[in-house]
Chains A and B, each alone.
Chain A
Amino acid sequence: MRARSPLLTVRDLSVSFKTEEGTVQAVDTVDFELGAGEVLAIVGESGSGKSVTAMSLMGLTRGHNATISGAAEFEGTELVGADGEELRKLRGNRMAMIFQDPMSSLDPVYRVADQIVEQIQAHREVGKAEARERAIELLDAVGIPDAAGRADAYPHEFSGGMRQRAMIAMALSLEPSLLIADEPTTALDVTVQAQIIELLRDLNRRRDLSILLITHDIGVVAEIADRVAVMYAGRIVEYGSLDEIFYDPQHPYTWGLLGSLTRIDRPRPKRLPQIPGMPPSLLAPPRGCHFRPRCEHEFDRCTEVPGLEPRLADAPGHCDRCWLEPARKRELRKVGENNQVGPA
C-alpha cells in the first residue's frame, strides 16, 4: 500500500431522498479517504448506497428531492457545499466518471469522437480540429484498434468493451486526477471485464490516476484495489487495506461477503454459502447496527450504532462498525471457516 496525502477526504457524508413512502437514508455518515494514485474499492450489494455515494460526490444526485450533508474535500474544494457551476467545472475535468452500462451511457445520435470533443470543449478553449486529434489519441491510448478510422463511428457500431473503452477515453480526456468507476465491468463479458480491469490498473500505475471503484464483484476488488470500504445498508461497515479486509476481516457482514465467493483452491461446497435474510429497507432501517437482523452473533449492545473506528491495536488504519471484541471475532470466524475466509 502506498500512503500519500489524500486527494479526496469524505467526512460524515449523508444522502437522503424524500419519496412518496417516506425518507430514504441512502447514505449514512460515510467516511473515507482516497490518496493520490490510490485505488479505493467500495463494495456492497445493490442498494447499499455505493453508487449514490459516488454520484453525490459528482453532484449528480442534487435536485431529485435529495438532502446531502457532511463534507467532501477534493483537491482543496469542498464538494458538498459547492455551487452548481463550481461543481460543473470540476466534473469531467478534475474528476471524471464511468458507468455500469456502456451500451446506454453514450449518446446514440452522436459520433464517438464528437462526444469526446464536446467534453474537451466544455472545459478548454480549443478548436474542433485540435480537440478531435486529442480524441483520437485518447481512443488509441485506451486500446481501440484503428482509432483514427473508428473515431467517426456511432456508439452502436462499437462492441460493449469498445464502448467502455471509449467511455474511459472520454473520462481521461482532460487528465483528471480522480476517476470514479461505477460498476465498470458489470455489464461486460468475463474476458472483456478482465481487459477493462487491466486497462484501469495500467492507467492507475502509469498515469498515477486515483480510482474510486464501485463494485459488488470481490474478484475485481482483489485484482486492483489498494484499499477497500465495505458498505452495507448505507453505511461503511469495514474499511481497511486490501490485505486487512481479505485476510483479517472484522465485520460479520464482510465474513459473509467473502464466504459467498467460489474458490477454486478449496473443495467445492454443495451449495454456495449465502447470508440469510434480506438487506433492510432504508425507509425504516433497524435501530443500531444495520446488519443486526441478519447477524448470527448479535448481542445486547448491537442496538447502539457502532462507530467506524480502528479496533485492532496493530492495524490503526483498519476500521469497522462491530461491537464484538477482536479476539472473540477471530474465534467466531474460525468456527464458520469450512468454506469461508482465511489466507488462501
Chain B
Amino acid sequence: MNSEMAAFILRRLLSMVAVLFAVSVIVFLIFTVLPGGDPAVRMAGKIPTETQVEAIREEWGFDEPIYVQYATMMEKLFSGETISYFTQQNVVDEIAKGLPRTLSLAVGAALIWMAFAVALGLYSALRAGRLSDRLLTVLALIGISMPVFWLGALMSYYLGNKLGIFPATGYVEFGEDPFQWFWHLVMPWTALSVLFIGFYSRVLRSDVLETMGEDYVRTARAKGLSERRVLVKHVLRNSLIPIITLWGLDFGAVIGGGAILTESVFELQGVGQYAAESVGQLDLPPIMAVTMFGAFFIVVLNAVVDIAYAALDPRIRLEGKPAR
C-alpha cells in the first residue's frame, strides 16, 4: 500500500505540473489574441499618444517576443512579485487576502449542502413515491434550476436590505468577531448551497434506492440487524461513495471559481470576486494567478478524491483498475 501510495502521489504531482503549465499557456495565449487586450494601450490612459504607449510597452516588456513575456510572467508569478497592470498591487498578496474569505464560504457551504443533501435524499428514498417524496423532488428541481446570482440578489435585497435580518453584503473576519463572521456568511452559504442540495439529494435518493435492492442488504436483514443499522452501516455507507466523490470535485471547483457569482453578489471580496474584477479589466497578471490558483485546487482535490475513493471502496486500487 505504501509504495502504491507513493507512486500514486508522484504520478499526480507530475500530472499537476502538466495541467498547470497547459492552463497557464492557454490563458496567456487567449489573452494575447483578445481584442483590446493590449495592456500598454489600456494603461496609457484615455487619449494616449503613440510615444506614451511605446514607453509603457518598453518599460513593462510588452515589446519582447511572446515566449519571453510568458517566461517573465511565470517567473514573477512564482517568485510572488507579479503586479497588477492596473492597480499596481501585488497579485499574490491580493489572493492571500481573499483566500480566507473564499475558504470560509466554500467550506461552510460544502458542509451545509452535504448535511442537507444526505438528510433530504435519505428521507426521500425512504418515502419513495409518497407525497413527501414528490414534494421534495419538485423542490430539488427548483433548487437546481435557480440561478445563484438571482437567488443571492433576492436574498440580499429582501432578507438584508428590506427586513434587515442578515447583513445584506460584506464580510467580517472570524478572528475579529466569530458571530458576525457566521452571521455575514449565512446568506452566501445558503445561496451557494441550494443548487448542490437539490442535485446531491437527487443523486443520493437514487443511490439509496438502488443499494436497498442489493443482495448484501438482504443479507444484513437476514442477519437480524436492526433496521437502523442496516440503513446506516450498509445502505448509506455504500450509497455515500459516489456522492463523496462528487463532493470533493465540487468543493475544488467552488474554490477554483465556482463561487465567483456568490462572492460578487454578497461583496465578500474573496478570490472569486477578485477574479471577476480582473477579467472585467482585462488585467492579465491577476487572471493568470487566479486561474492557476483555481486549477491547482481542482487538481489537488481530484487527487484527494481518488485517495478517498480507494479508502471508501476496497475494490478500488489506486492504479485506477478495479481489483475484480
Chain A residues proximal to chain B, CB less than 8 Å: 58, 60, 84, 88-93, 96-97, 99, 101, 104-109, 118-119, 122-123, 154, 156-157, 167, 170
Contact = CB atoms under 8 A, between A and B. Distances in A.
B172 interface: no
A154 B222 contact: no
Contact of B215 (A99, A109, A170): A99
Given A104-B215, A119-B225, A122-B224, 5 more contacts: A99-B219, A99-B222, A107-B220, A108-B315, A118-B233
B79 interface: no
Given A154-B315, A156-B315, A107 B219 contact: yes
Given A154-B315, A156-B314, A156-B323, A107 B216 contact: yes
B322 to A, nearest CB: 9
A60 B215 contact: no
Interface in B268-324: 312-315, 323-324
A106 B219 contact: yes
A29 B233 CA distance: 37
Given A91-B224, A122-B225, A154-B315, A60 B218 contact: yes
Centre residue among B216, B234, B312, B323 by max chain A CB count within 10 A = B216
A79 B234 CA distance: 25
Nearest to A111: B314
B238 A109 contact: yes
A76 B88 CA distance: 87
B221 A91 contact: yes
21 contacts: A60-B218, A88-B225, A90-B224, A92-B222, A93-B224, A97-B222, A99-B215, A99-B222, A104-B214, A106-B219, A107-B219, A108-B313, A109-B241, A109-B313, A109-B314, A119-B225, A122-B224, A123-B224, A154-B314, A156-B314, A157-B323
B134 interface: no
B3 interface: no
Contacts of B224: 88-93, 119, 122-123
Given A108-B314, A154-B315, A156-B314, A88 B226 contact: yes
Contacts of A108: 216, 238, 313-315
Interface residues of B, number: 25
B229 interface: yes
A23 to B, nearest CB: 18
Contact of A122 (B214, B218, B229, B323): B229
B222 A58 contact: yes
Contact of A101 (B215, B223, B233, B314): B215
A305 to B, nearest CB: 32
Centre residue among B220, B223, B225, B238 by max chain A CB count within 10 A = B223
Contacts of A84: 227
Contacts of A104: 214-216
Nearest to B222: A97
A91 B215 contact: no
A118 B223 contact: yes
Given A104-B216, A106-B216, A154-B314, A92 B223 contact: yes
Contact of B234 (A58, A101, A107): A107
B218 A170 contact: no
B76 interface: no
Centre residue among A60, A84, A122 by max chain B CB count within 10 A = A122
